[in-house]
Amino acid sequence: MTDSAMEINGLVKHFPTFTLGPLSLTVPRGAIYGFIGPNGAGKTTTVDLIMGMGREDGGTIRVLGLDHRRNEAAMKAQVGYVSPELSFNAWGRVKRVIGFYRGFFPDWDDAYCTELLTRLKLGWEDRIATLSFGARTKLSLVIALAHRPRLLLLDEPLSGLDALAKHEVFSELLSAVQDEERTVFISSHNLDDIERFTDHLGMIRNGQMLLEGPTADLVERFRMADCALNGAPFPAFGGAYVQSRDGGRIRVLIDTQRRPLDSLGEYGIRVLAESPVTLEELFVGVMKED
């Protein structure tokens, strides 16, 4: 059994005005993996390709040890999928939606499904047309969880939810992943929720992976530094993200794994002050292009 729940290698998808990749990422088995980036970065495109919606132009995707195309049916039987794009209007009522999806999953747990509906305050007879956006998201979550999948694939599951609905959804997700064999891949731009919920991160911009690794390790290795240039221009090197300039002063986000702070002196740069960063500061810092 592989230690990875999902492996993407060299994934490429071309569009007229955007190219995803080459993108590679690894989701450890039992991890809660946050896939973050600004709108338009390629998050939903990646999730769509994992689920077989569209065809990649290059690269490979393996989910739970299975090729996502050659073993599509076996893979999808073990994956729970939530997306704000899912629409259930055609079925009219909650009971008909659930009856439809239930037929695709031999491991569907009727008792667990009923329990989830009760906890998330959904009724069998509820009309889809009258459900709020948050209630529809909860229904997606019920369908995703009721067959007890080994991988939960969540694309912006908290988008548009109020604070109470977010709390209810998070409670169910945390309950569902108590089994260390169950893995969660959550694509989102909501950094507060990602920082509290995930233990691994992949950070994407313009279709390219910028950073990937354990959440705490990624945040820990970065520092925000205020520096004096002493008349010299700031050199261009990897691991440094310029945030602002003011004459001979500069604020820069430094990846200390790639560029130790004490090495800046070699370039005539004096560090005046440095501080740790939050995930939000890290995200904004690496997305900013000076």
Residue type, 29: R
Query: Could you tell me the CA-to-CA distances from 209 to 12, 30, 201, 224 in Å, in that order?
Result: 12, 22, 11, 21
pTM of the model: 0.85
pLDDT tens digits along 263-280: 888 778 888 898 999 888
- 176-213 pLDDT, tens digit per residue, is 666 657 888 998 877 776 777 788 999 999 999 989 99
CA 37, CA 116: separation in Å to the nearest integer? Answer: 30
Distance of alpha carbon 69 from its chain centroid, rounded? 22
Q: CA–CA separation, 102 vs 125, rounded Å? A: 16
Contacts of 53 by beta carbon, 8 Å cutoff, 6+ apart: none
| pLDDT number for residue 111 | 93
pLDDT at 17: 92
Least confident piece of the model among 78-87, 100-109, 172-181, 254-263: 172-181
- DSSP conformation letters of 47-72: HHHHTTSS--SEEEEEETTEETTTTH
- Percent of the chain residues topping a pLDDT of 90: 28
